[in-house]
Amino acid sequence: MRIDADSSAARRVRALRQDIERHNRAYYELDAPLIPDAEYDRLMRELEQLEAQHPELASADSPTQRVGGAARADLPSVRHAVPMLSLGNALDDDEVRAFDQRVRDALARDASLGRSVDEDVTYCCELKFDGLAVNLRYEHGVLVAAATRGDGTVGEDVTPNVRTIHGIPLRLAGLSPAVLEVRGEVLMFRADLDRLNARQREREEHEFANPRNAAAGSLRQLDPKITAQRRLRFFAYGVGELAGIIEPPSHAATLDLLARSGLPVNGERRIARGVEGLLGFYRGIQAKREKLPFDIDGVVYKVDDRNLRERLGFVSRAPRFAIAHKFPPQEVMTQVLDIDVQVGRTGAITPVARLAPVAVGGVTVTNATLHNEDEVRRKDVHVGDTVIVRRAGDVIPEIVGVVADRRPPSARPFVMPAACPVCGSAIERPADEAIARCTGGLFCAAQRKQAVLHFASRRALDIDGLGERLVEQLVDGGQVRSVADLFGLDAATLAGLDRMGERSAGNLVRAIAAARTPTLARFVYGLGIRHVGEATAAALARHFGNLASLLRAGAADFMQVEDVGPVVAESIERFLGEPHNRKIIERLREFIAIADEHEGAAHAAPAGPLSGKVVVLTGTLEHFTRDAAKELVESAGGRVAGSVSRKTNFVVAGADAGSKLDRARELGIEVIDEAAFRRLLEK
């Protein structure tokens, strides 16, 4: 029966083809996908089903007959000697069982093999990398060309860019056939993406949403110098054209041959028999997925025997002998029902999207972080929008982007509240910071546990025995509503808490009593004022001499203190100007007597080999903890900063130093190792 061109099925097929082609162009040509992979797969499956139900609607130019997207017009094109086909997908265990059954049925029908339909098939199991497929062409062992997959028939010539990838050998080791085409994936490790995006932010340039986009965008640059600056990797997983060499009898042996030739072949692969062997491999890889340094979106099963593969053959755009078993989607689409804010332990105000429930990464998600106000604006998220949500492992779900063409007329933008939803204190955001904060640091219930722990920490009032678990009990039980309540605790109250006997309670009461006479510097540090670390607290204590003078001061006065700039001065003024904080400080003055209060700046900064120097510590030091190194710098007259700037005198770099080391090199700041640091201190 023929279907009318204006029937609902025909209209839906046309709409799906147009939509899929639009997404193909965004994904393959622009490296800027508009929807998650799971949504794309859903559209493609719907089109495949409609075409199967209505064969008269099938068309040679349908997206179901293509492998990928067209090659970019601004890169030279390459026609593949052997087409680079895509794989069919299995989304659950039943579809894997159906694939295995199809393979066994097809092989059983081949009388020459003498196989039973119940006989298990041996498969080679590999990872499904989330990168960009490429073909490397070696002639007589030398790399002569490289191309992207493109539409499977014609790809883009990326030879100059591929030559910059250090993991790809320019000459094979011990192998020099007339032609060997190696199929594989170019990808970027997550840590390398983080470093790349950090540089992009510093340069105020476009950031990449994920490693796949970063790898594709980097490999398809017109300037190989740009590609060379971005650390790309490669894993081989098959071969294309061969001449002058006989392909090994199994796929596993082929991978071993490529590895011996110097090509990177990932080690997470194994031979499995039957469908249960396949599912066992899948579950094992899924359990370690987040521990891998790169992204994968599933695993691949391939019939291992080359002779059997040839007998199974191909369908229009995929081999019959292989399939990709995809993990549950880490990115899905849903709707934003509302946007409100959460108050963190340090007072940070985080916008949170309340979502229509959706399954992502194997769990149901109803909330997603939006990080900060600028992020909401940058992603242009409105209440009512359809958004793409990502959840990877145990990472908090986040909104990747907005599906702009689905925004309803009723959508409304987010407005940051002026007052903290927990304590009512003012919410303020310094002009040069991305994060807004509640100013009620000592008063706000959301910050209470963190405030108490910081106040009691070793470098503040040093209340030994007041650990995190005990603070949680005291705050949750209502015995401590602010840091001042610590001084009203008695042994009987403490002894009644979980895991607190009379002896432990008595020890803690004595520790609290001993904390009633802190130095001014320790007390100021213990207040937890943002940007006020130990060195700044000590400088404030030296300058003002007593708490009363400090409380009377304003931003202009704080600016007179050594190393206190406008940002720190404003932070101190905001904290001390919040009525709730002043009330807690006044209560604290009823219990404590500051040991070293005096008038004026009586103490000079310590003299030493690092006097007046600004030092940044990065990486892991062998002979010092970070705190110990910081104390040594300060005792030698220096100051430790948390980030590298033009004011930094030198950087001490230990093992695994990261972005701070990169920043120091960019600014031309002196970098010394741990041995030089120790020699400097010995002076």
The residues annotated with a catalytic role in the active site are 128
Copy the structure tokens of residue 271. Answer: 């031979």
**Hey, what's the torsion of the CAs at 187, 189, 192, 198, to 10 degrees?**
90
User: Can you tell me the distance from the alpha carbon of 526 to that of 533, in angstroms, rounded to the nearest whole number?
Assistant: 9
> Could you give the angle at which helices 8-24 and 37-53 cross, rounded to 10 degrees?
140
CB 249 within 8 A of CB 307: yes
Rounded CA-CA distance 625/413 in Å is 46
648's CB contacts (< 8 A; 6+ apart) are 614, 615, 616, 641, 664, 667, 669
The amino acid occupying position 128 is K
Task: Count CB neighbours of 416 within 10 A.
Answer: 14
Core vs surface per residue 600-619: b (16+ CB within 10 A) or e: eeeeebeebebeebbbbbbb
Instruction: Name the DSSP letter for residue 430.
Output: -
Length of the chain: 683
* Tokens coding 312: 């199974």
Q: Which of 402, 399, 419, 408 is nearest to 354 (CA)?
A: 399
Cβ contact 27:72 at 8 Å:
no
Rounded Cα distance between 606 and 609, Å, is 10
Closest CA to 85 of 61, 69, 64, 66: 66
350 backbone dihedrals φ, ψ, rounded to 5°: -115, 120
Structure tokens, 447: 């910050």
Distance CA 407, CA 403 (A): 7
Of the candidates 219, 214, 55, the one whose C-alpha atom is nearest the C-alpha of residue 150 is 219
Closest to 338 in 3D by CA, of 374, 381, 377, 380 = 381
* Rounded CA separation 72/145 (Å): 17
Q: Provide the H-helix boundaries in 426-533.
A: 448-455, 468-476, 491-495, 502-514, 520-526
What is residue 31's DSSP assignment?
Answer: S
Among 305, 182, 302, 185, CA closest to 242 = 182
Contact partners, residue 289, CB within 8 Å, separation at least 6: 296, 327, 393
Cβ neighbours, 10 Å, residue 425: 22
| DSSP one-letter string for 167-191 | TS-SB-SS---SEEEEEEEEE--HH
